[in-house]
Chain A
Amino acid sequence: MPKLTIDGHEVEVAAGTNLIEAARAAGVAIPYFCYHPYLTVVGQCRICMVEIAGQPRLALGCATPAADGMVVKVETSERAREAREAVMEFLLANHPLDCPVCDQAGECLLQDHSMREQGSEFATHMTETRRTFPGYERRLIGPHVVQNQNRCIHCSRCIRFTREISGTAALTYKSRGNSTFIDTFDGSAFDDPMSACAADVCPVGALTVREFRFRKRSWKLLSTPSVCPGCSIGCNIFIDHHERVVYRFTPRENPAINATWLCDHGRFLAEPLNEQAYLDPQHRTGGQTIRVGWGEALAGIAAELKDASGLRVVASANLSNEELFLARELFGRHLKGEIAVPVAPGEPRKMRNGKGEWLHATDPHANSAGARRLGLDLVDGEGLSRFLYGGAGLTLILDPGAHPFLASPEALQLLRVGTTVVWARREHPAAHAATWLLPTPSLAGNEGTFTSSAGAVQRFAQAFAAPGTVHRTATGAMSPSCPTIAVPWGPPGEARPLWLTLAALARELGVPPLDLASPADVFALMARKDKAFAGLAWETLGGLQQDESFRERQHVG
């Protein structure tokens, strides 16, 4: 454990730690552009130059391991400051300086460093014509990534990402020297399964994500820690949102699962979170659909539950541990109903963790491991069909998206036979067959935990409550062109998370132990009662434990 001094702060770090990370631990920021903690060190950008006492030349913060007794000067070294200023001058000399129209502004390392260290008196004698790459200023290099080569600072992060992480080696440098530019190796489309990460690691606006470009200024976004709902691997994400609209997912650092990466499949599940087809509870009687309040709906459903001749509950592997637990306790234990958790087959997905190992999944659900842990009955499509054919007076569907079979004409016919209660957010045929329809919010409006396929119980936080409808223009853009609509979202709706309605139903049904006030309380009860979750405490759950200490967003942006 080498002990060293950085700008007067003493710090002890693990052997092999480089000076950038050591300085971070000491509370000193060494700027960098090409360094990335999960990529190889190349020392190309030269901005991380620091002075080490006793060494005649400046050293690279990224490539120099911390050594015992080292005295490092970063901010306090005039030589290092001059060198950094020169590197900035070199980089900015050929940079378009188009921050006002650049989508990376606000999360750009070059802009951040310029704001932090370049004083207003900084002037350059660079008066030559800027380097440009005609034809490469706005080029779609793949389905999700837009390139502007004029902004590139040649840090090679994107190239190293495709070589070392996604493994496709799709991107490369072409040409030489000052005319070097980034392109796909064979000139074909950049259709890497993690392609948007190349835009994430890009420290400037040279690579941007097509789906997010010009949708929202990055500094307006709020980031809520969450877990990707795309498959059972459970990558850690931030939900970036603003005023009840989700704009994107960005990866959140977790060395054990997704390091700082996110696959395109998961990343672009962000947009569908804005769909909120149902805003109020609905009751359908005699062919008429009426909007009702929650009080009326809960009382009505409680009455149905009390009178039901038989109870079938179709749960879902997309629900949180807390929701599955409440459903099991309330519908299974107290009401003696049958519960099935349908699981659908999925596409193979993979993710590389911080050690460089691949994690694989073919399970498209975020929480089938949790359902299995809770001892629920996992069924496939055929099992679900048998389950529905079993017949019962009352059927509850907690999530119509649980299995494609629920949208089939066969299933709808079965659902129309008895009384059906459906909790839904997106437009779904089963919702039209429901006697009672209860609106639920998306992942962004819920709170709870998922159990990943590797067994990690990870928390996701609530980004906002009461989502409304998001207005769209004809092109699908969220900012309306109509000047009379000032904001892209409609009035708040009445959607409530499933756990909350289940707790309320427990109160209506007179099951006070399940009438809980928050997912944390549900989790505490679950940890007490269920040995699969014994010993886990809400506050220390994986996925959120790094809430305080996660390295700043610039690692991924």
Chain B
Amino acid sequence: MEPVLLRARGVPDSRSIATYLAAGGYEGWKKALGMGPDAVTKEVLDSELRGRGGAGFPTGRKWSFVPKDHPGPRYLVCNADESEPGTFKDREIIEYDPHQVVEGVAIASFAIKANTAYIYIRGEFVRWARILEDAIAEARQRGFLGKNVMGSGFDLDVWVHRGAGAYICGEETALLESIEGKRGFPRLKPPFPAVVGVFGQPTVINNVETLACVPHIIVRGAAWFASIGRPKNTGPKLFCVSGHVNRPGVFELPLGVTFREIIEEHAGGVRGGRQLKAFFPGGSSAPILTAAEVDTMADFDACAAAGTMLGSGGIIVFDDTVDMVDVADNVAHFYAHESCGQCTPCREGSDWCMDILDRIVAGHGRPADPDTLLRICRFSSAGMTICPLGDAFALPISSIVNKYRSEFERRIASATPLPQKKQPVLPWAGPCPGFGI
């Protein structure tokens, strides 16, 4: 497949607006301004573009949820808080082609009639926040942003907002709270952000990769976009492959390619000729897949059918040297650290899972532990929590316990009891004379 989103990778001086314009940049923005908001939304709807942030919700439908007759301002938010373990695709887009994102932001803002857009970028991405700010300044200088864009009468301001290092702020409503200057706590839905979003106004939140697709859809048409991939799972997708492969990196491939092709052909296969044992198909919050499931197609619907999710497209590969109990423990540590602490099951459950897994890893597992883990996971997911962070730790851990239970049982079989804490010796220790009746 010819590269679309990563076409600038390897081009000299790819970040400058001159290079971007030479490659046909901002043509989509010009065309969109001529089409009008409704036609732009319809084009994106027809392309069947689905959100690349993880949930895979149709982008055009998301845009159409913004109330048409809302009297106040609306906002577009670009989610660049890329914090899912194993995911580094947005950084790649911003690194090589930031104007692609800016143009996507502009077209999406126009489609929902938002005059202000925020790009929320994770705090650790200092370099990439600067790249975006430079790109926005260039675009503003050329008249692609600002007051009365290209004489169309449409005003657009784009701001880069840096996060402060919390994974939870990648969740869309926590992100909105963070933009408002509040603690990153996810909001209760409904109301959905499309109705009550940032500063109480209708807001659309799209991932960087989603917005980067938008200029291409406008320039080359919905039919072209829909011709890539499979029906309902259209377009190019960036897959981030990390872990035990020979050639880790970001690969742009059409949706519907198999994980076997991604891992074996594009990422150069498992390191040192070892056997594939398991992989996370879409970041560490997706249920794990075993080597036997490597022929699953990498798209939203096929992953859902396999009981997992495509998520962000962050594929983490484990070879046969890996102990899955350690994987579960590692995952539990991350989510226990990143749980926001707002609602009960996730706050208590993530930490509890971590404690149990730590104990098993330390060699003090108990026979009841796998079932306890499954029980915790069951009641931390599927609507028990405010936001999907509950599912994010519960689903991978329960999938690891279910699929690799024998490894847990092997560890537990050779476990030693937890050394008892020394009880304080009381002066009257011994049978109490008063109750010896």
Q: Residues of A at under 8 Å CB distance from B?
A: 41-47, 49, 57-58, 60, 63, 82-83, 86-87, 90-91, 93-94, 125-129, 131, 153-154, 156, 172-173, 175-180
Total contacting residues, chain B, CB less than 8 A = 35
The answer to whether B382 and A57 have CB atoms under 8 Å apart is yes
15 A-B pairs in the complex with CB atoms less than 8 angstroms apart = A42-B188, A42-B342, A44-B342, A45-B344, A46-B344, A83-B379, A86-B375, A86-B378, A87-B344, A91-B348, A94-B348, A128-B359, A154-B347, A176-B341, A177-B339
Residues of B within 8 A of A131 (CB): 351
Q: How far is A94 from B352 in the complex, measured between Cα atoms in Å?
A: 9
Q: How far is A87 from B380 in the complex, measured between Cα atoms in Å?
A: 9
The answer to whether B352 and A93 have CB atoms under 8 Å apart is yes
Pairs A-B, 5 closest by C-beta atoms: A86-B379, A180-B341, A57-B383, A178-B351, A90-B348
Residues of B within 8 A of A41 (CB): 188
The answer to whether A46 and B340 have CB atoms under 8 Å apart is no
Bitwise interface map of B from 368 to 392 toward A, beta carbon under 8 Å scored 1, else 0 = 1101100100110011111000000
Q: How far is A440 from B343 in the complex, measured between Cα atoms in Å?
A: 52
Q: How far is A90 from B344 in the complex, measured between Cα atoms in Å?
A: 7
The answer to whether A176 and B344 have CB atoms under 8 Å apart is no
Report the minimal beta-carbon distance from B146 to chain A, rounded to whole angstroms.
37
**With contacts A46-B343, A93-B352, A126-B352 known, is A177 near B379, CB below 8 A?**
no
Among B188, B339, B344, B369, contact of A153 (Cβ-Cβ < 8 Å): B344
Residues of A within 8 A of B342 (CB): 42, 44, 154, 156
B355 at the interface (CB under 8 A from A): yes
Closest to B187 in A: A42
The answer to whether A44 and B350 have CB atoms under 8 Å apart is no
Q: How far is A179 from B356 in the complex, measured between Cα atoms in Å?
A: 17
Report the minimal beta-carbon distance from A241 to chain B, rounded to whole angstroms.
36
Closest to B421 in A: A129
Bitwise interface map of B from 306 to 350 toward A, beta carbon under 8 Å scored 1, else 0 = 000000000000000000000000000000111111111101111
Report the minimal beta-carbon distance from A125 to chain B, rounded to whole angstroms.
4
**With contacts A45-B344, A90-B344, A91-B348 known, is A177 near B359, CB below 8 A?**
no
Q: How far is A153 from B341 in the complex, measured between Cα atoms in Å?
A: 10
Closest to A88 in B: B344
Q: How far is A63 from B343 in the complex, measured between Cα atoms in Å?
A: 14
The answer to whether A177 and B384 have CB atoms under 8 Å apart is no
Q: How far is A46 from B372 in the complex, measured between Cα atoms in Å?
A: 20
**With contacts A83-B379, A128-B356, A177-B336 known, is A63 near B188, CB below 8 A?**
yes
Q: How far is A156 from B340 in the complex, measured between Cα atoms in Å?
A: 13
Q: Please give 11 more A-B residue pairs, beta carbons under 8 A apart, in addition to A129-B355, A180-B347.
A: A41-B188, A86-B375, A87-B345, A90-B352, A125-B368, A126-B352, A126-B372, A175-B341, A176-B340, A177-B340, A178-B347
B276 at the interface (CB under 8 A from A): no
The answer to whether B345 and A86 have CB atoms under 8 Å apart is yes
Residues of B within 8 A of A90 (CB): 344-345, 348-349, 352, 379
The answer to whether A58 and B344 have CB atoms under 8 Å apart is no
Q: How far is A49 from B379 in the complex, measured between Cα atoms in Å?
A: 12
Residues of B within 8 A of A173 (CB): 183, 341
Q: Residues of B at under 8 Å CB distance from A?
A: 166, 183, 188, 336-345, 347-352, 355-356, 359, 366, 368-369, 371-372, 375, 378-379, 382-386
Residues of B within 8 A of A43 (CB): 188, 343, 386
The answer to whether A83 and B384 have CB atoms under 8 Å apart is yes
**With contacts A41-B188, A57-B383, A93-B352 known, is A176 near B166, CB below 8 A?**
yes
Report the minimal beta-carbon distance from B36 to chain A, rounded to whole angstroms.
37
Q: How far is A83 from B341 in the complex, measured between Cα atoms in Å?
A: 19
Closest to B356 in A: A128
Residues of B within 8 A of A172 (CB): 183
Report the minimal beta-carbon distance from A95 to chain B, rounded to whole angstroms.
10
Q: How far is A49 from B344 in the complex, measured between Cα atoms in Å?
A: 12
The answer to whether A177 and B351 have CB atoms under 8 Å apart is yes
Q: How far is A63 from B371 in the complex, measured between Cα atoms in Å?
A: 32
Closest to B355 in A: A128
Report the minimal beta-carbon distance from B341 to chain A, rounded to whole angstroms.
3
A interface SS class: loop
Residues of A within 8 A of B371 (CB): 125
The answer to whether B385 and A177 have CB atoms under 8 Å apart is no
Residues of A within 8 A of B383 (CB): 57-58
Among B338, B339, B372, B386, contact of A44 (Cβ-Cβ < 8 Å): B386
Most buried by B among A41, A82, A87: A87
Residues of B within 8 A of A44 (CB): 342-344, 386
Residues of A within 8 A of B339 (CB): 176-178
Q: How far is A193 from B347 in the complex, measured between Cα atoms in Å?
A: 32
The answer to whether A154 and B341 have CB atoms under 8 Å apart is yes
Q: How far is A176 from B183 in the complex, measured between Cα atoms in Å?
A: 10
Residues of B within 8 A of A153 (CB): 344
Report the minimal beta-carbon distance from A89 to chain B, rounded to whole angstroms.
8
The answer to whether B345 and A178 have CB atoms under 8 Å apart is no
Most buried by A among B347, B371, B383, B385: B347
Q: How far is A502 from B345 in the complex, measured between Cα atoms in Å?
A: 63
Residues of A within 8 A of B338 (CB): 176-177
Q: How far is A173 from B182 in the complex, measured between Cα atoms in Å?
A: 11
Residues of B within 8 A of A129 (CB): 355
Q: How far is A332 from B49 in the complex, measured between Cα atoms in Å?
A: 87
Residues of A within 8 A of B350 (CB): 177-178
**With contacts A44-B344, A86-B379, A87-B379 known, is A125 near B372, CB below 8 A?**
yes
Report the minimal beta-carbon distance from B437 to chain A, rounded to whole angstroms.
23
Report the minimal beta-carbon distance from A175 to chain B, rounded to whole angstroms.
8
Closest to B183 in A: A173
Q: How far is A154 from B345 in the complex, measured between Cα atoms in Å?
A: 12
The answer to whether B355 and A177 have CB atoms under 8 Å apart is no
Q: How far is A94 from B383 in the complex, measured between Cα atoms in Å?
A: 22
Residues of A within 8 A of B166 (CB): 176
Report the minimal beta-carbon distance from B170 to chain A, rounded to whole angstroms.
14
Q: How far is A57 from B386 in the complex, measured between Cα atoms in Å?
A: 13
Residues of B within 8 A of A91 (CB): 344, 348
Residues of B within 8 A of A57 (CB): 382-383
Residues of A within 8 A of B375 (CB): 86, 125
Among A49, A83, A128, A180, contact of B352 (Cβ-Cβ < 8 Å): A128
Q: How far is A173 from B345 in the complex, measured between Cα atoms in Å?
A: 18
Q: How far is A127 from B358 in the complex, measured between Cα atoms in Å?
A: 13
Q: How far is A93 from B372 in the complex, measured between Cα atoms in Å?
A: 13
Q: How far is A183 from B340 in the complex, measured between Cα atoms in Å?
A: 16
Residues of B within 8 A of A94 (CB): 348
**With contacts A58-B383, A63-B188, A173-B183 known, is A178 near B344, CB below 8 A?**
no
Residues of A within 8 A of B348 (CB): 90-91, 93-94, 178
Closest to A47 in B: B344
Closest to A175 in B: B341
Residues of B within 8 A of A180 (CB): 341, 347
Q: How far is A496 from B245 in the complex, measured between Cα atoms in Å?
A: 91
Most buried by A among B339, B355, B368: B355
Report the minimal beta-carbon distance from A280 to chain B, rounded to whole angstroms.
47
Closest to B372 in A: A125
Residues of A within 8 A of B337 (CB): 176-177
Closest to A129 in B: B355
Q: How far is A83 from B359 in the complex, measured between Cα atoms in Å?
A: 26
**With contacts A44-B386, A93-B348 known, is A178 near B188, CB below 8 A?**
no
